[in-house]
Structure 1
Amino acid sequence: MNDTPSPQKPYRVLAEPCQYTLEEKRSLFHTHLFPVESREQALAHIEALRQEQPGASHYCWAYLLGPADQPQSQAFSDDGEPSGTAGKPMLNVLTQRGAGDSLAVIVRIFGGVKLGAGGLVRAYSGAVSQALDSAQWREVTPTTAVSVAVDFAHEERLRHQLAQDGITLSDVDYRQQVWLHIAVPIGEQQRLESRVQELTSGQYQWQPSGGDRLD
């Protein structure tokens, strides 16, 4: 039985933050989209907007981490709007539009006219969708962190092999051996370790660096 994870396909994420403002019956829905890689990063962006734009009626948000079709984590908040009228519709748009590793925050300035539940859903989902229309995108591949120790004589050959394979070298430590910290595409670990074993004639150390991450 083969327990090796299957290679995971690239998915698209926001290349950079972007903004869009929707006006609906004098209410302003200031929409901010951010690429994010953790819950902590998402919450920091939300808090920063509260500080930068104080006094708004609501700060509604939604984020998902990982591929939009199979997120590792997701969350949302209506921030005082009627339940189900803001955060969940925003998250649905991120999912449907394939916006991986993304956070949407809408800072609403109330214009004095109530929109009703249906109107709020349309406004919040429409604001995120229209913001995504102007977004810039890039592709990322799910990776896991691995550290490999080799003798100094093998460093250049291993670096060359990594470059040929398109594998990211995150950092290098020079100790009694050279420790190369690598972001390996999930599902490629076994193949890479076989190449390292071949290049070094078995003179290496291989150490997974903890949980999976995305680079």
Structure 2
Amino acid sequence: MSSPFNVPVAEVESSQLIKKSRFITHLLPVTDREHAFSQIEQLRQQYPDARHHCWAFIAGAPDDTQVLGFSDDGEPNGTAGKPILAQLQGSGLGYVLAVVIRYFGGIKLGTGGLVRAYGSSVAQALAIVETHPYIAKTTLSMEFGFDALGEANQLFTRFNVIQQTIDYNESVCVTVELPAQHRQQFMDALTNACRGQVEFQMPLQDKG
């Protein structure tokens, strides 16, 4: 199990000018690898005339080496993606993506200069991003009688449950998302409210 960590609240943007090259950094939260790649592509489209779109992400807990990714996007090997990733890893954040867009100004920075430029660009964005603790979520499906719906809705509010789907047939079938740490307590409370007349179906694994 991962140690507690923080995630970005929302996207931030920063920029700096180094020897006539402009470095624009977007730092933002992501939910998984696919989401990260989608955001990278959106930023490529947002800055189509930029020379480089270098990036790195941690699409999970910061200590999970299976969820890392980075790219130099045409810069010399090791001068962009790795320095960006190093800044993210040093921050202790999870579920985070940094994309640094470079508009070349005509002056070469050299290997060391590029490493410093990309690293400092991300450090600048990290200094202004707002974060909050990451809370692992889980999905849970359940079926219970209509007579328990009122009490169930009260429990949804109490346990910060978000309804994803709900179907009314002969009984009430609901799929919800809630903090994983509250799952068992919520299930016990709903079982009591339904006098044992509830069926649960749990996911194979929690989110995060």
Calculate the TM-score normalised by the size of structure 2: 0.88
Listed as ranges, the matches of 1:97-108 within 5 Å are 97-108=91-102
For residue 51 of structure 2, the aligned residue among 38, 54, 57 is: 57
Between 141-150 and 153-162, report the one with greater CA deviation. Answer: 153-162
1:172 deviates by 2.6
Instruction: Tell me which residue corresponds to 1:3.
Output: none
Question: d(CA) in 1 for partners of 2:65 and 2:160?
Answer: 25
Question: d(CA) in 2 for partners of 1:189 and 1:165?
Answer: 9
Is residue 202 of structure 1 aligned with residue 200 of structure 2? no
Listed as ranges, the matches of 1:157-176 within 5 Å are 157-176=151-170
1:111 deviates by 1.7
Structure 2: give runs of 5+ residues left out of the alignment.
Answer: none
Instruction: Check whether the contact 2:57–2:68 (CA below 8 A) recurs between aligned residues.
Output: yes
For residue 75 of structure 2, the aligned residue among 78, 81, 93 is: 81
Listed as ranges, the matches of 1:5-84 within 5 Å are 11-70=5-64, 73-84=67-78
Question: d(CA) in 1 for partners of 2:169 and 2:115?
Answer: 57
Question: d(CA) in 2 for partners of 1:36 and 1:197?
Answer: 35
1:210 deviates by 4.7
1:59 deviates by 0.9
Is residue 184 of structure 1 aligned with residue 173 of structure 2? no
Identity between Structure 1 and Structure 2 (%)? 37
Between 86-95 and 173-182, report the one with greater CA deviation. Answer: 173-182
**Cα–Cα, structure 1 residues 183 and 72, in superposed 2: closer, same or farther, change >3 Å?**
farther
Question: d(CA) in 2 for partners of 1:126 and 1:48?
Answer: 23
What's the CA shift string for 1:147-183, capped at 9, x where partnerless?
Answer: 1111111122122123223344444332322122222
Structure 1: give runs of 5+ residues left out of the alignment.
Answer: 1-5
What's the CA shift string for 1:44-63, capped at 9, x where partnerless?
Answer: 22222222222322110111
1:73 deviates by 1.3
Instruction: Tell me which residue corresponds to 2:89.
Output: 95
Question: d(CA) in 2 for partners of 1:89 and 1:178?
Answer: 52
SS of corresponding position for 1:213: coil
1:202 deviates by 1.6
Root-mean-square deviation (CA, aligned residues, Å) is 2.2
SS of corresponding position for 1:172: strand
SS of corresponding position for 1:55: coil
Instruction: Tell me which residue corresponds to 1:111.
Output: 105
1:108 deviates by 0.8
1:10 deviates by 5.6
Question: d(CA) in 2 for partners of 1:74 and 1:176?
Answer: 46
Between 56-65 and 181-190, report the one with greater CA deviation. Answer: 181-190
**Cα–Cα, structure 1 residues 187 and 71, in superposed 2: closer, same or farther, change >3 Å?**
farther
**Cα–Cα, structure 1 residues 71 and 189, in superposed 2: closer, same or farther, change >3 Å?**
farther
1:9 deviates by 6.8
For residue 154 of structure 1, the aligned residue among 115, 140, 148 is: 148
SS of corresponding position for 1:160: helix
How many pairs were matched up?
208
Calculate the TM-score normalised by the size of structure 1: 0.85
Instruction: Tell me which residue corresponds to 1:121.
Output: 115
